[in-house]
Amino acid sequence: MLAIEGVSVAFGGVRALEEVSFEVPEGQVCGVIGPNGAGKTTLFDVVSGLRRPDAGRVRLDGRDLTGTSPAARARAGVRRTFQRTQVFGRLTVADNVLAALDWHESDRRWGGGGLAADLAGWPGRRRRERERRERVAEVLELCGLTPLREAYAAALPVGRRRLVELARALADRPALLLLDEPTSGLDAAQTARLAEVVRALETTVLLVEHDMGFVMDVCDRVVVLDLGRVIAAGAPASVREDPVVRAAYLG
Ligand SMILES: Nc1ncnc2c1ncn2[C@@H]1O[C@H](COP(=O)(O)OP(=O)(O)OP(=O)(O)O)[C@@H](O)[C@H]1O
């Protein structure tokens, strides 16, 4: 479970976040919405470790992550995607996912052990290799990318590249997935396909998104920020009907 507890951030006189608190239970998808300047990006930066809050805490499964670096959060199982997709264009779709898996594994296991350890560990390595290939196949299937597994990522339209990025982030079963404006640059069909994939995930997800339709479609819970404060939180349908939310959007 992700817990945001009394998080505040100020930029000079501007209170970007003021005592923001909410929780995302394990396996749920939570969307953060709000008008321009509401504090969404700042909140995302606090959760991913790019910005240290002036007050409050961020916990993941009870573990206090406040003040830890983005790299330490990655080791704790936090993954994020970016508005501009970050994939290896000259690798195939399958190799993109495999590379992500290798990267996170080696990051956890660094220390090595030399040639003797390598030889002694050979049978285990073969098993691990098979497990890795199986995991890649599983993630590609989940993201609807199996037919494209041998395609080069650079040749794909942006909607597919976004799915490749998602597959990379999911590869080693993250504890928390952060999606930053996942629909930006996607057309309606691509957005609908992405929504299907996100709905099928069993991962805890926090996403920031301008596309209300997408948020209402994929989220179990929606948190609405306005001028740095949580003005509403709950199921998509109740948030949509909330007069306070409507007033905030209409200005
Ligand atoms: N680095 C910064 N220095 C000064 N003020 C900032 C900084 N970053 C954000 N702010 C201010 O903090 C407030 C919240 O900004 P933030 O970018 O988090 O909002 P947002 O909801 O992501 O907005 P948008 O939807 O426009 O991206 C705004 O008033 C913004 O001008």
CA distance 63 to 67: 12
Neighbour count for residue 71 (Cβ, 10 Å) = 10
Residue 38 alpha carbon, nearest atom of ligand 1: 21
Q: Contact, 164 vs 155, CB < 8 A?
A: no
Question: Which residue puts its alpha carbon closest to atom 13 of ligand 1?
Answer: 16
Neighbour count for residue 54 (Cβ, 10 Å) = 12
> Closest by alpha carbon to 196, among 150, 153, 233, 159?
159
pTM of the complete model: 0.88
Mutational test site, ligand 1, from 15, 41, 45, 224, max ligand atoms within 8 Å of CB = 41
Kindly state if the Cβ of 81 falls inside 6 Å of ligand 1.
Answer: no
End-to-end CA separation in angstroms for the chain: 33
9-23, 104-118, 232-246: least confident range: 104-118
Report, as an integer, the average pLDDT of 62-69.
94
- Residues forming a β-bridge with 55: 8
- Residues forming a β-bridge with 205: 29, 177
Neighbour count for residue 18 (Cβ, 10 Å) = 18
24-33, 75-84, 168-177: least confident range: 75-84
Residue 228 alpha carbon, nearest atom of ligand 1: 14
Tokens representing 198 are 């996100």
Q: Cα–Cα distances in Å, from 30 out to 147, 149, 223?
A: 30, 29, 7
Kindly state if the Cβ of 17 falls inside 6 Å of ligand 1.
Answer: no
Residue 250 banded pLDDT, cuts 50, 70, 90: low
Strands (E), 114-240: 176-180, 205-208, 221-226, 229-234
Does ipTM exceed 0.90? Answer: yes
Kindly state if the Cβ of 35 falls inside 6 Å of ligand 1.
Answer: no
**What domains can be seen in the chain, in order of their start residue?**
1-77+174-251 (3.40.50.300), 93-172 (no CATH)
Q: Contact, 222 vs 22, CB < 8 A?
A: no
Q: How many Cα atoms are found within 13 Å in the side-chain-facing hemisphere of 176?
A: 27
Report, as an integer, the average pLDDT of 79-95.
86
Who wins on pLDDT, 130 or 149?
Answer: 149
CA distance 19 to 7: 5
